[in-house]
Every structure is written in C-alpha cells, then in structure tokens.
Amino acid sequence: MKTNSTIVLDAQDISKSYNGKKVLEGISLQIRSTDFYVLMGPNGSGKSTLLSILAGTNSFDSGNIKINGNDLCKYKLGARKHIGYVPQENFCSDFLTGRENLQYFANLLGLPKSQAEQEIEQLLEMMDLKEEAGRRVATYSGGMKKKLEIATALLGDARILFLDEPTTGLDPTVRKDFLSVLKEVNERGTAVLLVTHIGEDAEIASRVGFMIKGEIVAEGTPEELKEMSGLRSSIVVDAAPRSDELMMLLAGLSGDCIVIERESLFELICEEPKRMVPKIVEMLYEAGFDMRSVDTRPPSLEDVFYRLTEYPIRGEA
Amino acid sequence: MSGVSQVRASFLRSMRIFLRDKAIIGSSVMIPIFFLLVLPMVLFQEVPIEYLPATKGFLVIAMVTLLIMSTAMSNLPGSIAADRDHDLYSKLSSMPVSPVYECLGRIVTVFVFSLLGSMVIIALGLVLGAELIVTFTEFPLVLGVTSVVILFTAGLGLIIASVVKSESAAAHIGVAIVLINYFIGIAFPYRDLPDLLRPIVHVNPVCIGNNMVAALTVGEEFLGYNPFNLMDASVMLLLAAVIFITGLYIYSRNCWRR
C-alpha cells in the first residue's frame, strides 16, 4: 500500500432537497488515495444520492466538491477524468464482447490506441477476464459483469472508484472474490468509495461511515466503530420449534439484549454475551425447546450499525 | 478529449448493436424485404406491364423510406431506452463526455445502417424488375434529400427516446408513428391519395422527401405532382432542422440529466 496518500475527494457541506424535502444535510467527506471507504446505510438513507452527486451524475443544492483538486462544478472535464463510477445496474452492452465494451469506454475517454490496448489487456488480466474477453457480455455471470464494469471505471486516469451497491445479487463466494479484486485495486493506489447495506462488504474497509436520513452519523475504522458501539460478541441461538413464544422468551431476557430474527435463527446483541449464554441455555431447556446450538460470534458491522443508530440496516431509514 | 473519438466510439458501439440485434435487423430490413417480395404479387396484378418497372421502382423507394423510419423512429429510441434502463447514462455523465458527440455517434449509425439496408433493398428491387433511373448529377440530390429525411426521423426518434422511458414502449410508439407515416403519404403515389390526405403530404418532411426521391428516380409523371417546389422544400428543410435540434436538446437534457 502506498504511504504517501493525497486527498482525491474533498466534499464540503453537501446538501440536497427533492420537492422541498431534505435528502442530504451538510455532508462533508474527505477521501485519500489509500482509502477504502464504505458508506453503510439502509434503503432511503441517501447514500446512493450522495454517491451520484460525488460522481458528478446528480446535481446538489449547496456545497463544494473537489476531485483530485479539481472543482467538480467549475472544472467539469478536469474533475471527471479522475472519476471511475460503477452504477447499480449492468451498463455494459450484452451485444458486445467484454473487450469491445472496454474499447468503447477507452475511445470515449480519447485514449491513444496503443495506450488503450495496453490498459485493456492489463485490466482484463487483473480482473481475471482475459479468457472471456472475446465472448459477448450476455454470456457472463453477474460477478464477471461487475468485474468488467470495474475495469471500465479504471480506464484512463481514474483516481477514485465510486461503486453503488456492487455486491447486490452476488452469491457469497463471488462476493468475496469481487471484494478481494476491489481491495487489490485499492492497494494499487486507487481510492474506493463503496455504498452498501450489506455489513460484510464493510469488513475490508479502511474507513466506514454510517448514514441515516441524509447524514453521516458515525465514522471510523471498523475496529473503532466496534469499540464505539461497546459490543463484544453476539449470541446466535438455533432452537426449535421457532415460534412467537421463543421470540418472547429471548426478548424477555434481562441484560439489555436486542433480539434480531434472522432467516433460520435468532441473534442477540448483548453487553456481556458470555455471561448470558448459560442463562439462555437453562431458560430454553426449562421451557422445553429443542436446542440445536447456542453460540457466540464477534460483532458484525451490521450489529454495530444497529447499536449506534438504532436502525436495522436492512430496513427503511 | 477529442470530439471525433467520442463520435467514433458511440458509432462503433451502436453499429455493432444494430448489426447483432436480430430484432433490429428483423424490423428494419427484413420487413421491407418481405413487403418488396410479397406486395407486387398482391397489388400489382392489374398494373399494365409497361408501368410495372416504374411501379416496382416506386415500391423500392417506399421500402427504403420505411427502412429509414423504422431505424430512426423505432430502433434508435428503443436502443436509447435500453441504455437508460441499464444506467449507461449515469456512467456516461460521470465521464468527460459530451452528450452532443455521443448522440452524433448514434445518428451516424442510423445513417450508415440505413445506407447498408437501402443498398440491399435497392439491389433486390432491381433484381425483381424495378426501374430506378438516376443521372450522375441527380445522385447527390438524392443523397441530400435522403439525409434530410434521416435527420428529421432521427430527431423524432430522439424525442420519443427522451420522453418514453421503457424500451418496449419507445420501440412500439416508434412503430406506430412509422405505420401512420407510411400509410398517409408513402405507400401510394400522390396522384392516388384521397383529397383528405394530400395536404398532410405537404407538411410532412418524410412524405416530401420520399416524393422527391421518387420524382428523381421514378419520374414526376408517375408521382402526379412536382415536390421540388419552394413551399415543400422550405417546409421539409425547416421542420427537419427544428425537429432534429429539438431532439438533440431534449435528449441531452432528459437522458443525460446531471
């Protein structure tokens, strides 16, 4: 990782309203070239709006944005050549091959032919798409399409990547692979700003921001945020039969626990999880539940988000 | 950034899509070819044999106009709407790219695709016995008039693409406008049109352009009037310019909203 980092994004006091309703309120954000910044927030928190404003695709009411020292409003071309934006939808044409899509964006940027060819080959190599580069994008998997889109965003002189919920719809293995590619991009000197509502995506970040109702309410490294939340570990309970009675029992535990119902189990966020585990086991045994497992796990950033903001990350803001 | 490279990039991308998308080839080229093969068998049975080459020549010109309209007013807006659905314009507006140059690349595609399709239709028409006579000096005029028709229809296509968001709706609205235009002043020579439809021909640049090319290649007598008059030419040029500039402006604002 480079040690001499420079500020590639400097946003000051950004505000925006839609139909008289404030969606962003005085947001300031600085990102350095070495940063892997993840902005977490539930649907409707304004994170995608903020990203589109920072990437120059959306207008804003007040504030100032500089990309690599160029004012986004005054020096549009100078600022935009340093932006690599990957919106949520798959924007590469299905009728073109992976290489042809890259050539299209390289030509739009006006890259000289030899430079374009060299960059395209390097990016295909980096994204592990070299063998598939001659195939039409229609035949690509979701993960391959996303990698191709990152490659298009890295063409030319992009200093910062803006990614809007890039892992949505990807299965866990592909998501992990995709995030490791992003990490590699970051380690080569391109800053990354990723918005997501998936906590696991934020675990590899160097900085994380929590966004609620158009404001960044907490910010720090994942470790700092976990420390700030006071959470140690959560308790995962897998018991049968799953019923309202079980939920009520867990919710009624003393010890200031928050109970979250997951797909196949219950998760409890407590101040002192290790002390609570024997209590839970005893209580469920006495109530006659079939205990499959009661375990502790380290706090995730989703838990931390919930604790610090009191908003479930996968709900509405 | 060079404007030429942006136009070229946009052209190469759209051209590849137009040539690879079977729906575009089918609706723009195959339907006129089908009509060219079938209509003479159905409609021209009672045409005196000495008029048959000119009648077929008129049909070829009508099919070329149909091809241009389908490409510019249905396939162009359909492809723009598809790109908007896939967030391409969000991506493009984050880049140092001019909406005008990007759009010009798409318009060049309409020109080149129409030219290629027209060559196929004209070649087939000639094989089937159509007679098209163009002098060396008239040929640039044919190309010029055709270009004006393309600009007008592409302008309409851009307006459709800018106001209709769904891909299928944009393409279908385009098809509807193509069919209306075709039957009110392109499918039949001016002399065969009912009095009710004749005034429309004089205010519709597609009909005027089609008639001008038909007059140059098939003959004014066959058409039944001389479209090269000051009023028709002025209306065609003025409306084509207004609609094309309006289309370009609305496209730049609506599709590239920043």
- B174-190: pLDDT as tens digits: 999 999 999 998 999 99
Q: What is the CATH number of the domain that holds A156?
A: 3.40.50.300
Together in a domain, A204 and A183: yes
| Closest by CA position to A317, among listed A51, A23, A26, A43 | A43
Residues A124, A119: Cα–Cα separation, whole Å? 8
The H or E element containing residue B122 is helix B99-127
**Does A311 map to a domain?**
no
Three-state SS at B105? helix
Query: Domain end: A227, A255, A276, which one?
Result: A227
Q: Tell me chain B's radius of gyration from C-alpha atoms.
A: 18
Three-state SS at A43? strand
Interface residue of A16, A65, A85, A108 to substitute, partner B, most B CBs within 10 Å? A108
Q: Which of A89, A96, A110 sits opposite B13 (nearest CB)?
A: A96
| Alpha-carbon distance values, A301 to A35, A147, A180, A308 (Å) | 18, 25, 18, 10
**Does A310 map to a domain?**
no
Q: What is the CATH number of the domain that holds A267?
A: 3.30.70.980
- Residue A254's pLDDT is 66
Six-digit token string for B60: 């070829």
Together in a domain, A157 and A88: yes
Together in a domain, A134 and A171: yes
- B223-253: pLDDT as tens digits: 999 999 999 999 999 999 999 999 999 999 9
Together in a domain, A41 and A65: yes
| Alpha-carbon distance values, B115 to B81, B122, B216, B247, B248 (Å) | 23, 10, 18, 22, 22
Six-digit token string for B27: 């609706």
Q: Which of A52, A59, A93 sits opposite B13 (nearest CB)?
A: A93
Query: Interface pTM (ipTM) of the complex?
Result: 0.91
CA distance A105 to chain B (A): 8
| Alpha-carbon distance values, B1 to A44, A60, A65, A109, B151 (Å) | 36, 26, 22, 6, 26
- Residue A313's pLDDT is 65
Together in a domain, A18 and A92: yes
Residue range B69-79: mean pLDDT, rounded: 96
Instruction: Give just the sign of the alpha carbon dihedral A281, A284, A288, A290.
Output: negative
Above pLDDT 90, what percent of chain B?
93
Beta-strand runs (E) in chain A: 7-18, 21-32, 36-40, 62-67, 70-71, 83-86, 160-164, 191-196, 207-212, 215-220, 234-240, 258-261, 266-269, 290-297
Which segments in chain A show pLDDT lower than 50?
A: 1-2
The residues that bridge with A71 in the sheet, in sequence order, are A66
Instruction: Give just the sign of the alpha carbon dihedral A107, A111, A115, A118.
Output: negative
| Alpha-carbon distance values, A212 to A25, A218, A262 (Å) | 11, 9, 22
Residues 119-158 on A with a CB inside 8 Å of B are 152
Together in a domain, A213 and A240: no
**Does A2 map to a domain?**
no
Together in a domain, A123 and A150: yes
Together in a domain, A209 and A239: no
| Alpha-carbon distance values, B218 to B58, B62, B118, B126, B134 (Å) | 6, 11, 16, 13, 8
- Residue B244's pLDDT is 98
- Residue A2's pLDDT is 44
**Does A26 map to a domain?**
yes
**Phi then psi for A123, rounded to 5 degrees?**
-70, -40
CA distance B106 to chain A (A): 13
Q: Which of B8, B88, B95 sits opposite A109 (nearest CB)?
A: B95
Residues B9, B16: Cα–Cα separation, whole Å? 11
pTM of the model: 0.86
Residues B188, B223: Cα–Cα separation, whole Å? 9
Together in a domain, A41 and A68: yes
Six-digit token string for B140: 């640039």
Q: CB A58 to CB B8 under 8 A?
A: no
**Does A132 map to a domain?**
yes
Interface residue of B94, B97, B98 to substitute, partner A, most A CBs within 10 Å? B94
CA distance A68 to chain B (A): 15
Query: Domain end: A227, A254, A289, which one?
Result: A227
**Any idea which residue has 């158009």 for tokens?**
A214
Residues in chain B: 258
- A87-128: pLDDT as tens digits: 999 999 999 999 999 999 999 999 999 999 999 999 999 999
CA A295-A296-A299 angle, to 5 degrees, is 145
| Closest by CA position to B209, among listed B184, B188, B235, B191 | B235
**Does A212 map to a domain?**
yes
Residues A209, A228: Cα–Cα separation, whole Å? 13
Six-digit token string for B4: 């030429």
Q: CB B87 to CB A89 under 8 A?
A: yes
- Residue B250's pLDDT is 96
Q: Which of B17, B21, B97 sits opposite A108 (nearest CB)?
A: B97
Please give the tally of structural domains in chain A: 2
- Residue B1's pLDDT is 53
Together in a domain, A46 and A154: yes
Q: Which amino acid belongs to residue A122?
A: Q
Together in a domain, A62 and A99: yes
Q: CB B88 to CB A110 under 8 A?
A: no
Six-digit token string for B105: 């690349």
Residues B24, B106: Cα–Cα separation, whole Å? 14
Residues A192, A159: Cα–Cα separation, whole Å? 9
Instruction: Give just the sign of the alpha carbon dihedral A29, A35, A41, A47.
Output: positive
CA distance A208 to chain B (A): 24
CA distance A302 to chain B (A): 28
**Does A236 map to a domain?**
yes
The residues that bridge with A266 in the sheet, in sequence order, are A237, A261
Other beta carbons less than 10 A from residue B166's beta carbon? 14
Q: pLDDT at residue B88 above 90?
A: yes
**Does A268 map to a domain?**
yes
Together in a domain, A162 and A288: no
Q: What domain range is A121 assigned to?
A: 7-227
Q: Tell me chain A's radius of gyration from C-alpha atoms.
A: 22
Residues 47-66 on A with a CB inside 8 Å of B are 52, 55-59
Q: Which amino acid belongs to residue B2?
A: S
- Residue A230's pLDDT is 80
Residues of B in contact with A87 (CB under 8 A): 87, 90-91
Residue range B147-158: mean pLDDT, rounded: 98
- Residue A38's pLDDT is 97
